[in-house]
Amino acid sequence: MITNQSIHHCRCTRSCFQCPICIGPLAVQSVAPAPEPSHLTADNAGSAPPGPWVLCCSYCNWASSEIGVQFDKPQGIYGQLLKMRHGIGSSDIPNAPVDAVPTKRDVLAEPESTKSRFAAMKSFYQSQLASANPATSSMSGSFGDYGFGSPNALTRIMSLYSGTSGLTASKTKARPTIIREADTENEGLRFPDLDESAAITKLRHQGYDGTVTRPQAAVQVEEGARFADEMWPVPYLLRSKRAKRCPACRHILSKPEAKVNNTRFRIRLVAVNYLPEISSKPLIQPGLPPPPSDLLIPMKPTQYLLTFKNLMFEDIKVSLATPNTTPGRFASRVTVLCPQFTIEANSDDYDINEVLKDDRRRERADTLQQVEPGKVWERGRNWVSIVVEVIPSSLRIEPRPTILKKDGDGKDDLSPLKEDEDILEIPIFVRLEWESDPAGDQVSTSASKEKDGKEKKELAYWTVLGIGRISQE
C-alpha cells in the first residue's frame, strides 16, 4: 500500500476526485437518463442507470465529458482514468464526438505517450551500461533496484572485504567509459514542438476564459495544461492526522488512532476529562429577600456559592488559593471560606436512595444551615458547593490618600472608566489530587506509586471566575 501510494504521489487511488475548475468534490453520474419510477414493471424496477458514466461537479456544473472522458462502469474510476491518460488500452477510451475539439486525451492515446517514452529511455540506458561494463552486466539486473548496479558502487563494496583499498588507491584509476545520451525518439528523447500556431488559433477561438489560471495549473497532477479542456480531474491528496503537544510542557494533548479506518482521537484534551466543572450563583439565605438587581453594590459583602462537579471516576481532593484582592485598578476583597475539600467519584451506577438523601439534605440546609469557615456548604454524589465572600470595590475615580501611598509608587491612574473594567473577576489557583490505576491515562504531571498499587496523580492550573458587574452609582 505504501509503495502504491508513493508511486501516485500520495494520491487517493479510489474514486475520490476534485473538480479541476473549482476544486469541489466530483460525483459519478450516468449520461443516460434513469428509468422512470412511475413505470412499475419487473424489468426496470430497481435497475441501475445504464452507462456511460461521467464525473460531475455540483458547484460549477463541470463534467468530464467536456474533455471527452467517459467511463464504462462507475467503479474503479482511478484505474480507468489512468488508462485513458497514459494511452494504455485503446479499447477503454470512449470515442469523442465528431465535431469536438481535439483534446489532450487524443494526444495521449498515441503510441508516443509519457509511459512509453520512459520505458524506451530506461531500456536505452540499461543497454548502454551493459555494453560499457560487460563484467557487471549480469549483476546489474539483480542489484539495480538497490543502487548496486554501477561499477563504482561494486568496487567500493569489494574493497571493504578485500583489504587492498590502500593498494588500489595508489594505482592509477582507469578512466570510466563515457556513454552517449539518447538522441532519437526511439530512445525516449522528446523534441520540443516549437510550432505554436495551433495554440494561438485555439486561444483566438476560446478567448481568455478558455485558458487555465495559475491556481488551477498548480493543483494538476501533471504539468503542461494551458487550456480548460486540457485539465483532468485531480485525485484527492492523502492527509494524515498528527499528535498535538503542548508548546510549554510538550505533553500530548491529542493523539489519533493507530488504525487508518478510524479517525477518532484516543487522548482528548486534558480540560475535557480532568478539569472539574465550576459554576457560581448568589447565596440567598432563607427568609431574606433576593437582591433587587444583578449588579454588585460597592463596599457591601456578598456571598456566592461555587459548585465543583467531578467528571472523573476517582475521588479528587481540591485545594483552592486566591489573592486577597483582585488585580487591577479597582481591587475587590475575596475570601474563600473552605479552600480544601474532597469530591466523590462520578460513578455510573448509584442508588436512588442516595439521590433522595441529597434532596432531603438540601431541604434541611435551606432552613438550618449557616455559613461557617472551613466547612462545605452542600455536598452531592459527585459535586460540592462552597461559599466565597467578596467585597466589591468602589468605582469612584479619586486619588488615594497620602497615608496609603508607598515609596516608589507611580502616579494614580485618574483616567475614565474603561470597557469591562467594572466586571469583578476572581483569579483562582486550583490543585487536584487523586489516585488511579497505573494502567490508566498518563496525564499527571507528577506521580508516585503506593503500596496498594494505586498511583497518586496531581494537576494544578489557574482559572478566572467571573462574578458580575459592579454598580457605578
Domains located in the chain, CATH noted: 1-32+50-92+112-125+202-238 (no CATH), 241-273 (no CATH), 279-367+375-397+419-438+455-469 (2.60.40)
Contact 315, 308 (CB under 8 A): no
Identify the residue whose cell numbers are 484582592.
325
Q: Mind listing the pLDDT tens digit for each residue in 403-444?
A: 666 666 667 677 777 787 888 889 999 999 988 776 544 444
Residue 6: its H or E element: helix 2-7
Q: How far is CA 369 from the centre of its chain?
A: 51
The strand pair at 446-449 and 455-469 is best described as antiparallel
Residue 374 C-beta-side C-alpha neighbours within 13 Å: 0
C-alpha cell at 429: 489557583
Q: How far apart are CA 77 and CA 94, in angstroms?
A: 14
Alpha helices in 195-334, H assignment, sequence order = 197-206, 214-218, 270-273
Report cis status (omega within 30 of 0) of the bond before 52: yes
Task: Answer for the pair 233, 19: CB distance below 8 angstroms, yes or no.
Answer: yes
Per-residue pLDDT band for 272 (boundaries 50, 70, 90) equals low
pLDDT tens for 189-235 read 888 778 888 888 988 888 888 899 998 888 888 877 888 888 899 99
33-81 pLDDT tens trace: 766 666 555 455 556 677 789 999 988 889 999 988 999 888 889 888 8
Cell triple for 283: 447565596
The answer, yes or no, to whether residue 319 has pLDDT greater than 90, is yes
Helix (H, G, I), strand (E, B) or coil at 7: helix
Closest CA to 365 of 385, 391, 345: 385
Cell of residue 172, nine digits: 592509477
Q: How confident is residue 447, by pLDDT bands cut at 50, 70 and 90? A: very low
Please name the residue ranges forming H helices in 182-314: 197-206, 214-218, 270-273
Q: What is the pLDDT of residue 1?
A: 39
DSSP string, 21-71: TT-PBEEEEESSPPPPTT---TTTTTPPPPS-EEEEETTT--BGGGGT--B
Residue 185 phi, psi (nearest 5)? -70, -30
Phi and psi, residue 260, nearest 5° = -75, -35
Mean pLDDT of the chain: 74
CB proximity list for 423: less than 8 A, separation 6 or greater = 466, 468, 469, 470
Angle at 147 between CA 144 and CA 148, to 5 degrees: 75
Q: Write out pLDDT tens, residues 366-398.
A: 555 677 888 898 888 889 999 999 988 887 777
Using DSSP's 3-state secondary structure scheme, residue 277 falls into: strand
| β-pair type (244-245, 234-235) | unpaired
